[in-house]
Amino acid sequence: MAIPEPHLQAWRGLLNAHAALTNRIDAAFAEAELPPLTWYDVLWAVRKQEGRRARLSGLAGDLTVSRGGMTKLVDRLERAGLLAREQCAEDRRGSYAVLTDEGEEMLRRMWRVYSGVLQDSVVDRLSSEQAKELGRSLLLLTGSAPPAAGRRPARSRSG
C-alpha cells in the first residue's frame, strides 16, 4: 500500500518534533540538575489522580511503559523519596504509587524548567490558531476526536 508523501512527511515531522522536544526538555532538566522527563511524567500521572495516588498497573498503561519498566522506575522514585508505595486493600497483589510532599515539590521545580522549554519551543513558535489546529489534528490521530466536516473518516483495517 502506498502512503501519500504529505502523510509520510506529517508522520516524520511528528516523530522528529517529539524527539527534538523531549531531548530539549531532558537537556534543560540535566542542566538544572533535575531528574529526567520520565520521572516528571510518572509524578504528574500520579499527581492528577484522586488522592494523589495511582495503581501501578494503570500507570504502566497510561504511560506506555512495560509493567517491569514501571516497577523499576517507581523503585527509583521511591528511593528518591518522591513516591511511596501503598498496598491495595481490595487486591492484595496490587499496589498504589502515592505522591509524597517531596514529589509534589519536585514537580513544581521541574515545571519551572519544563514550562520554559514549552514556552520557547511551542508557544513562541505557533500562533494560537496553529496550536488549536495541531491539537485537533493530534486528537484525530489518536481517535479521540471526530473528523472535521468535509473530511472522510479513516478506513478500518478490514476495509
Cell 478500518 found at: 156
| Residue 77: CB atoms within 10 Å | 24
Return the higher-pLDDT residue of 153 and 1: 1
Per residue in 12-68, pLDDT (tens digit) is 999 999 999 999 999 999 999 999 999 999 999 999 999 999 988 888 777 877 778
Entry pTM: 0.82
What confidence tier does 151 reach under pLDDT thresholds 50, 70, 90? low
CA angle, corner 39, sides to 35 and 40, nearest 5? 95
Q: What is the pLDDT of residue 95?
A: 87
What confidence tier does 143 reach under pLDDT thresholds 50, 70, 90? confident
C-alpha cell at 6: 504529505
Per residue in 68-86, pLDDT (tens digit) is 888 899 999 999 999 999 9
Domains of the chain: 20-140 (1.10.10.10)
Handedness of CA 56, 61, 65, 67 (dihedral sign): positive
